[in-house]
Each structure stands twice: as C-alpha cells, then as structure tokens.
C-alpha cells in the first residue's frame, strides 16, 4: 500500500475556484516537496478545477515521478438525472472527460460518484429510473474506458441520500460489470460516518477494491455537521486505522491510500507519516 495525496492544504490557493492548470501544477510540486509519490488528480467539478490540459499535465507529473489516478467528483442529482437530459449529459461529459484525461496522462484508473438526492424525497419509481439510467451510463463509460486500457471505480456512497441502500445493494450494482472493467473506491470516512462496519465493507468489496479514500470521521449522530464529522486528519476522529490497515492487508489490497483531508499542510503531513508508519508495521 502507498499513500497518495487527494487533498488541498488550507490556504494553498489564494484565488477562488475553479483553479487553472498552473495552479494544479504548483500543487503537484508541493505534493512532491511533502514527500508524496502518488497524486490523485481531481475532483473535477465546476467549483474546483477547470478542465485541465492533460498534455501539459503529464510532463509535470513525470518530472516529479508521480504515480497518478483521476477522480471525477461531480455530484449528480438523482431526480434530475432520472427525469432530465441535462443532468444525464453533464454526468456523461464528466466521465468522458475523465477517461480522456487518463489517456493523456497515462493513468490506468478513474473513479467517480453515483447520483444522490438531498433531502431524500425522491419517489420509488423515480429512484428506480435513476438507477436504470445510471446503469446505462456506467455501461457506456466502462466500455469506453476498457478500450483505452483504463479501469473505472465507483465510489462507495451506500447511504441516503445516494441511490444505493447499503453495502450489498451497492455491490449488486457493481457486479453487473466484470471486475476487469469496474471496481470500487472505498471511502473510509463516509462509510464510518454513516455507521457502516468498515471490516464488513472491505470484505464485501475485497475482490473489487481499486482505491481507498482515507480521512478520519465521527458517526453522524456524534457530530451532526458533516463538514466537522468527515475529512478530518487521522487521529482527530474515531476510526481505528491500525485495524483498518490490517483488514485491508488480509484482503490483499495493495493500492493507494488517498488522503482526502480538509486541514492544514501540517496536519496532512502528519496523517501521511502516520499512515506510512502503519504500513511498515502491518503484516502483509
């Protein structure tokens, strides 16, 4: 297992989003100076990065010897996704863009989100339609990505307001596709926050695990404000990361642990060092 950066240190960007190519390149340089060897590019949505020129990005990643993956961070409204073309087309364009970017920067993995609805007032027929259309969208995406030698990973949002009802419902959807084409991005903090058992999640997804988003968290009832309950530095929440790494090791996971922390550069570095020490002491 190796530690990747999927975080932006507080105060790093001095201008509001969306951020441009040169700002992203500066973040990659900073990641290298902090000792990271792996970088997750994204998320790409209107409030973060504008579309990045992959042909310019690749030599920057190569210069700093960065392993790389791509994450499409769009949040798609399930009701609009089911009933309108606008939301469906938006999701389709973002996935297509992510695949194109992977090809340009020589990344073999792209991850993305399922649709959601908040507050969760969607009726059953519309929810069913959202899932049906999302199945169609993912099918088109995995085939397009597979032709380019790219795997896709669906992020493990398994709770309301997302369109899956628990771990096994999520896995049932993923199992529509061959494991050679679609896997799972396990988001540790969000699953813990929603009171899912992380050991069970790893066992459920173990044959599909392609990436892990790592941030500390509290259970939702402990801290009602999601911004204060998730994306915390390691040790600032309630997750047992020693146990987590042991379970990942038992599942033969050897991919990235992508830090997704909303805090200072100092806290991100401390979390990186903590994870790397755990990796060294966890039997493989």
Query: 253 with 235: CB under 8 angstroms?
Result: no
DSSP string over 145-212:
HHHTT-EEEEE---STTBS--SHHHHHHHHTTS-TTTEEEEEEHHHHHHTT--HHHHHHHHTTTEEEE
- The domains found in the chain, sorted by start residue, are 2-281 (3.20.20.150)
What is the per-residue pLDDT for 157? 86
Helical (H) or strand (E) element with 141: helix 124-147
270: DSSP letter: H
What is the per-residue pLDDT for 282? 86
Q: How far does Cα 53 stand from its chain's mean position? A: 21
Q: Which residues contact 228 (CB under 8 A, 6 or more apart)?
A: none
Gap between the Cα atoms of 149 and 151, Å rounded: 7
CB atoms within 10 A of CB 216: 22
Beta-strand relationship, 256-259 and 182-187: unpaired
Query: 184 with 174: CB under 8 angstroms?
Result: yes
Ranges under pLDDT 50 in the chain: none
DSSP string over 2-57:
EEEE----TT--SSPSSB-HHHHHHHHHHHHHTT--EEEE---STTSB----HHHH
Gap between the Cα atoms of 186 and 253, Å rounded: 11
Mean pLDDT over the full length of the chain? 92
Phi, psi of 152 (to 5 degrees): -105, 150
- The per-residue pLDDT for range 63-88, each reduced to its tens digit, is 999 999 999 877 788 999 999 999 99
What b/e sequence results for 196-209 when a residue is b if at least 16 CB atoms lie within 10 Å of its CB, and e otherwise? Answer: bebbebbebbbebb
Query: 99 with 110: CB under 8 angstroms?
Result: yes
Nearest to 5 by CA among 28, 43, 39: 39
User: Token pair for residue 120?
Assistant: 């969760």
Task: Let me know how long the chain is.
Answer: 284
Query: 62 with 103: CB under 8 angstroms?
Result: no
What is the per-residue pLDDT for 223? 54
């Amino acid at each position: 297992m190796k530690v990747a950066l999927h975080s932006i240190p507080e105060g790093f960007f001095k201008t509001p989003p969306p951020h441009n190519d040169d700002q992203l390149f500066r973040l990659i340089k900073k990641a290298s100076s902090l000792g990271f060897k792996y970088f997750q590019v994204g998320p790409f949505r209107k409030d973060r990065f504008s579309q990045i020129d992959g042909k310019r990005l690749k030599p920057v990643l190569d210069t700093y010897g960065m392993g790389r993956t791509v994450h499409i961070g769009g949040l798609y409204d399930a009701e609009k996704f089911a009933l309108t073309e606008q939301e469906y087309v938006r999701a389709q364009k973002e996935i297509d863009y992510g695949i194109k970017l992977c090809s340009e920067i020589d990344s073999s993995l792209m991850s993305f989100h399922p649709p959601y609805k908040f507050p969760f007032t969607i009726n059953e027929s519309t929810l069913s339609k959202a899932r049906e259309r999302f199945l169609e969208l993912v099918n088109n995406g995995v085939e397009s990505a597979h032709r380019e030698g790219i795997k896709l990973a669906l992020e493990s949002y398994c709770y309301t307001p997302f369109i899956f009802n628990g771990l096994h419902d999520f896995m049932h959807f993923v199992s529509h596709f061959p494991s050679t084409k679609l896997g799972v991005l396990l988001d540790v903090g969000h699953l813990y926050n929603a009171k899912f058992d992380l050991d069970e999640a790893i066992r459920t997804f173990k044959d599909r695990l392609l990436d892990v988003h790592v941030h500390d968290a509290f259970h939702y009832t402990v801290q009602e404000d999601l911004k204060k309950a998730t994306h915390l530095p390691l040790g600032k929440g309630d997750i047992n990361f020693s146990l987590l790494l042991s379970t990942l090791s038992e599942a033969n996971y050897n991919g990235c642990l992508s830090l997704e922390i909303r805090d200072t550069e100092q806290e991100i570095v401390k979390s990186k060092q903590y994870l790397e020490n755990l990796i060294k002491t966890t039997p493989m």
